[in-house]
Amino acid sequence: MKTIYLAFLALLGINGSIHAQSTISGIVKDNTTKEGIEFVSIGVYSEKDSSLIAGNITDLEGEFRLENLPQGSFILPLAF
């Protein structure tokens, strides 16, 4: 199993609307080669009750973006 790390480019960026929404984006990279890992599944779960809020997969460069998330604390497990 490859060792990976997650670099957040923007963590919980708030767009300032009345119903504030957040965005999480980043890149998943191989720890050894530092190359992006494609098709990694990313889930966003509520830290409060572990309910699934959103999900996405990384693109060919290992980048992902999750938009329109409610404000709060999240758990982001990765699977590949």
Element spanning 17, H or E: none
Measured between alpha carbons, how far is residue 23 from residues 48, 62, 72, 78 in Å? 18, 17, 11, 17
The pLDDT tens digits of the residues spanning 28-78 come to: 999 999 999 999 999 999 999 999 999 999 999 999 999 999 988 999 999
Q: How many CB atoms lie within 10 A of CB 50?
A: 8
Q: For domain 4-79, is the CATH number 3.30.420.40?
A: no
Task: Please tell me the predicted confidence (pLDDT) of residue 27.
Answer: 96
Confidence band (pLDDT; 50, 70, 90) for 21? confident
Longest dimension (CA), the chain: 44
Average pLDDT rounded to a whole number, residues 10-33: 71
Output 40 or 14, whichever has higher pLDDT.
40
Residue ranges covered by each domain of the chain = 4-79
Q: Would you state the pLDDT for residue 19?
A: 58
